[in-house]
């Protein structure tokens, strides 16, 4: 009988504590972040906006969004919550606008018989290199717990 009580105390009770602790933590609190990206004072559509934390080991997390046809973006967390925002903190903001081009005649043949060849497309970055890397971008944002202050517009230059 004493062995059964000890078994319960040392085996089952810790397991129940662990299970009870699961699910209660919903992760860090995130705040809605939005804004508009301009290139040479014109709204920039279909541009990826990447928020990278300036600190490591904190609660900040990478987050990104994509601009719509009016250059407006809404950040979503790396967990994929759409329009979820990100955690408060200091961020370096970088951008990417890939251009896909095709010369009109090049195709890649399939190794599988009967499968049609596909266009041999190329992609290239459409923005100046200064904006496309966390290391070189001079664009920053400070996300706070005040939603009204989490609107960040970026005015990029092509030259």
Measure the CA–CA gap between 98 and 148, rounded to whole angstroms.
Answer: 31
pLDDT-based confidence at residue 57 (cuts at 50, 70, 90) = low
Please determine, for residue 81, whether its predicted confidence score (pLDDT) is greater than 50: yes
Domain range holding 144? 26-101+118-156
The answer as to whether 14 is a domain residue is no
Closest by alpha carbon to 155, among 38, 35, 33? Answer: 38
The answer as to whether 47 is a domain residue is yes
pLDDT for the residue numbered 93: 97
The answer as to whether 19 is a domain residue is no
Measure the CA–CA gap between 38 and 70, rounded to whole angstroms.
Answer: 9
pLDDT for the residue numbered 25: 53
Whether residue 131 contacts residue 159, with contact meaning beta carbons closer than 8 Å, is answered with: no
Please determine, for residue 36, whether its predicted confidence score (pLDDT) is greater than 70: yes
The answer as to whether 66 is a domain residue is yes
Please determine, for residue 155, whether its predicted confidence score (pLDDT) is greater than 70: yes
The answer as to whether 21 is a domain residue is no
Measure the CA–CA gap between 3 and 21, rounded to whole angstroms.
Answer: 27
The answer as to whether 134 is a domain residue is yes
The answer as to whether 123 is a domain residue is yes
Q: Phi then psi for 25, rounded to 5 degrees?
A: -90, 115
Please determine, for residue 5, whether its predicted confidence score (pLDDT) is greater than 70: no
The answer as to whether 76 is a domain residue is yes
pLDDT for the residue numbered 159: 87
CATH number for position 152: 2.60.40.10
Q: How many domains does the chain have?
A: 1
């Amino acid at each position: 009988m004493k062995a059964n009580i000890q078994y319960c105390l040392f085996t089952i009770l810790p397991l129940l504590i662990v299970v009870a602790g699961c699910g209660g933590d919903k992760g860090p609190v995130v705040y809605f972040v939005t804004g508009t990206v301009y290139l040479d004072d014109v709204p920039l559509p279909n541009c990826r906006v990447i928020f990278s934390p300036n600190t490591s080991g904190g609660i900040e997390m990478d987050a990104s969004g994509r601009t719509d046809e009016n250059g407006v973006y809404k950040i979503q967390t790396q967990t994929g919550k759409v329009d979820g925002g990100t955690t408060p903190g200091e961020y370096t903001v970088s951008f990417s606008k890939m251009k896909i081009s095709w010369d009109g005649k090049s195709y890649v043949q399939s190794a599988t018989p009967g499968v049609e060849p596909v266009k041999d497309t190329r992609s290239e970055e459409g923005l100046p290199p200064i904006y496309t890397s966390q290391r070189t971008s001079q664009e920053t944002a400070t996300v706070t717990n005040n939603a009204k202050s989490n609107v960040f517009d970026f005015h990029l230059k092509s030259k």
